[in-house]
A and B are shown apart, each in its own frame.
Chain A
């Protein structure tokens, strides 16, 4: 209890009127993307792509970022690059920066 580091108070912690004991916080996660919508399937990247929705594989549908910082559903992009290895948005060559997890 005495270890609480509260800069707004100078007293010794033992005499504190209120002490935080438990904190139930709530946080929301989303993909760290510039554009909410996947340019290939036109579904929000937070949702699974149409294909995965139809196959009921929502959980495995993650986001992929290119070096160009554009992002798409990984499934959509992997189909796209089979035909054209360029980013559909900026036409730069598609190099994966990372995938979501």
Chain B
């Protein structure tokens, strides 16, 4: 094929080039495989022998070379020649002799060298000599090994008992140099002295240290000879240092010092020693500087560091203690104790109730930060912090829950004026953290509800969104049962709005029912959702009664089976008023309204006259009159003048009333809420709790029919979510037995039966 194609090709171009290929292709065809001659290789009949004195001569040469190496002088023979010589000797089974002769030469050389240690030089100079000797020895051994490589590879390998040439060198060096007592002791002493100086802050020759220690390693005496002594010395030194520095330094400086020490030791160890020493060394240092003094360090300086919020120092403390056994456990215990101390003192300080919640929030924030930043969010610390807070907050019954509720009220009232929506939400979240710790959550609910009612009815709530968000947080935390009534309050508000617009339409359709120019709004509250208000009967002007009744009629037409009670205490009004200095609009309570409307009929009334006309109870009336005649905006004048209202006082219209604003809000004088209302609210919660205990006992007994006292108690603790005293429960059980809900077993007094 290729021939054909060639003939077709242009001859000039490719002939010469392809001619080779042509031949190459053709030649195998021409060659005959059968015609090649067979080649057989046979052994020598006689073994080749060495010349008579070859061994002696060669060894002389080799010995001369070895000596030259030992002297570090010029070798007369080429290395290749020497190598060949060794190879020859080995192949003629004289290796054994060669090995022992070589060993002898080397040994005697080393023995001669030892004299350099005889004279008394100082530590470092001694070490330098030793180092020099070692370096030389290594170089020489390497050189010798190169020459005797064949010996090493054949004879030594086949005899597993024999050390290789390199190992032989090490053995000889160890036996003849470091096994000499004075050399060993002085070298070890010198090294330790060197390290000691480094630890005292001197700059030392680290290369020397590193070389000698690696020599120790190579000679396999590092662990047995050096490391053991080194660790003992380290321990002693740091034991001493720990005791001294602990008293001398402040805790945070001590920690700093320790950290520095550990870093130094690590650095020294990494650069000069065997890496296996590092963990042992660091453990020793940590034991002596930290573990030994954990308790005293913690009790001496921990609280201070937390109080001062020294996050860097605390971080260091945690890091160092986490290295020693049970270190963080002690730290955590101290942390817990500290938190309990501080938080309890905040909670129990009755003089500082006003700032309790804020203080607790600040403390919590600070400690959370510390746990996160310094203690790496260690779950142990998170839990410990939680536990400490919970126990501290509940050290005082009820009050913290009440104050938290009031704190929320403040935030909700001032709301957006002080903070943006998201800031407020964050604040609420933080409050929830505190709320979570409270055991008596019903107390919180009662106070929260009271404040919420005020906010809703007076329209003081700053943000509906915030209210809703708080509600959903509570719901998330305590479940729907807890918030269902609070949600009901919001529903009432929106229902009232709808109903009112229906009422307006209804009125518009009936022109005979005049609105008398009064814009009336009514909030309808569902009883049970809202705090209980004691209704106070007062005498309203006829037209107001008509308005009220017209609404009542409308309402009952929409809802059958209901009754409606107007709450005079919660009503408030806007009054237009005429003074000499201009017209004003007064925002006042219903009681204030009733009193002021009276002055349409005369300029002066005595206390009993007002009391008769309005039928407001004496205490309420006193407060009302005080707000009108003794407050900031005095639309009435009291005779005689004075701050407090007496039954004998008279009141006159203050025609010359002046105020820079047109719309004036006259606040009711607040009863010292804490005294009566507060006790009342708490009292009510306690009563509710009794009902709840009763209900729970009956529920459990109804299900179990017969139950021992112990089991009943444990079931109760499971079901009820407020703090319970066994004595209280016993009282409730007695009461239920009296009321025939259950009875005691006649034989076994600790057994109860349900009475259907």
Chain A residue at smallest Cβ distance from B520:
A23
Contact pick for B514, options A3, A26, A99, CB 8 Å = A3
Fill in one digit per residue for A13-49: 1 if any B CB lies within 8 Å of its CB, else 0. Answer: 0001111111111111111100000000010101100
Apart from A20-B544, A27-B555, list 12 A-B contacts with CB within 8 A: A5-B516, A18-B575, A19-B575, A20-B593, A21-B576, A22-B518, A23-B518, A23-B571, A29-B524, A31-B563, A42-B698, A47-B528
CA distance A58 to B562 in the complex (A): 17
Query: In the complex, which residues of chain B have a beta carbon less than 8 angstroms from the beta carbon of A53?
Result: 481, 484
User: Is the C-beta of A83 less than 8 angstroms from some C-beta in chain B?
Assistant: no
Query: In the complex, which residues of chain A have a beta carbon less than 8 angstroms from the beta carbon of B564?
Result: 27-29
Query: In the complex, which residues of chain B have a beta carbon less than 8 angstroms from the beta carbon of A25?
Result: 520-523, 548, 551, 566, 571, 590
Please classify how large the interface on chain A is, using the bins under 10, 10 to 19, 20 to 34, 35 or more: 35 or more
Chain A residue at smallest Cβ distance from B519:
A22
A27 touches B541 (CB 8 A): no
Given that A5-B516, A20-B597, A26-B525 are known contacts, is A31 also in contact with B561, CB under 8 Å in the complex? Answer: yes
Query: In the complex, which residues of chain B have a beta carbon less than 8 angstroms from the beta carbon of A100?
Result: 559-562
CA distance A55 to B637 in the complex (A): 59
Binding site for B on A (CB under 8 A): 1, 3-9, 11, 16-32, 42, 44, 46-47, 53, 56, 58-59, 62-63, 65, 98-101
Query: In the complex, which residues of chain B have a beta carbon less than 8 angstroms from the beta carbon of A63?
Result: 561
B562 touches A5 (CB 8 A): no
B561 touches A20 (CB 8 A): no
A29 touches B527 (CB 8 A): yes
15 A-B residue pairs with CB within 8 Å: A9-B600, A17-B578, A18-B596, A19-B517, A19-B575, A21-B585, A24-B521, A24-B573, A26-B457, A29-B526, A29-B565, A30-B562, A100-B559, A100-B560, A100-B561
Chain B residue at smallest Cβ distance from A58:
B484
User: Is the C-beta of B601 less than 8 angstroms from some C-beta in chain A?
Assistant: yes
Query: In the complex, which residues of chain B have a beta carbon less than 8 angstroms from the beta carbon of A62?
Result: 561
B527 touches A3 (CB 8 A): no
A18 touches B484 (CB 8 A): no
B566 touches A27 (CB 8 A): yes
Query: In the complex, which residues of chain B have a beta carbon less than 8 angstroms from the beta carbon of A4?
Result: 516-518, 543
Please, how many residues of chain B have a CB less than 8 angstroms from a CB on the other chain?
Answer: 66
Chain A residue at smallest Cβ distance from B575:
A18
User: Is the C-beta of B389 less than 8 angstroms from some C-beta in chain A?
Assistant: no
Measured CB to CB, the closest approach of chain B to A28, in angstroms, equals 5
Binding site for A on B (CB under 8 A): 457, 480-481, 484, 488, 491, 514, 516-528, 530, 533, 535, 541-544, 546-548, 551-552, 555, 558-567, 570-578, 585-586, 590, 593, 596-601, 613, 653, 695, 698
Contact pick for B524, options A7, A27, A58, A98, CB 8 Å = A27
The 4 closest A-B pairs by CB, nearest first: A100-B561, A26-B570, A22-B574, A30-B527
CA distance A41 to B542 in the complex (A): 43
A5 touches B561 (CB 8 A): no
Given that A24-B572, A58-B488 are known contacts, is A17 also in contact with B653, CB under 8 Å in the complex? Answer: yes
Query: In the complex, which residues of chain A have a beta carbon less than 8 angstroms from the beta carbon of B488?
Result: 58
CA distance A96 to B586 in the complex (A): 50
A26 touches B600 (CB 8 A): no
Query: In the complex, which residues of chain A have a beta carbon less than 8 angstroms from the beta carbon of B541?
Result: 6-8
A28 touches B518 (CB 8 A): no
* Residue picked from B535, B552, B600, most chain A C-beta under 10 Å: B600
Chain B residue at smallest Cβ distance from A2:
B517
Measured CB to CB, the closest approach of chain B to A47, in angstroms, equals 6
Measured CB to CB, the closest approach of chain A to B694, in angstroms, equals 10
B530 touches A3 (CB 8 A): no
Query: In the complex, which residues of chain A have a beta carbon less than 8 angstroms from the beta carbon of B552?
Result: 27
Query: In the complex, which residues of chain A have a beta carbon less than 8 angstroms from the beta carbon of B574?
Result: 20-22
CA distance A32 to B596 in the complex (A): 35
Query: In the complex, which residues of chain A have a beta carbon less than 8 angstroms from the beta carbon of B528?
Result: 30, 44, 46-47
* Residue picked from A8, A11, A18, A21, most chain B C-beta under 10 Å: A18
Contact pick for A1, options B517, B544, B558, B566, CB 8 Å = B517
A28 touches B562 (CB 8 A): no
CA distance A19 to B484 in the complex (A): 40
A27 touches B565 (CB 8 A): yes
Chain A residue at smallest Cβ distance from B587:
A22
CA distance A30 to B558 in the complex (A): 14
Contact pick for A26, options B567, B597, B598, CB 8 Å = B567
CA distance A99 to B561 in the complex (A): 7
CA distance A9 to B653 in the complex (A): 16
Measured CB to CB, the closest approach of chain A to B499, in angstroms, equals 11
Chain B residue at smallest Cβ distance from A71:
B561
Measured CB to CB, the closest approach of chain A to B532, in angstroms, equals 9
Chain B residue at smallest Cβ distance from A97:
B561
Given that A23-B547, A98-B561 are known contacts, is A28 also in contact with B571, CB under 8 Å in the complex? Answer: no
CA distance A30 to B564 in the complex (A): 7
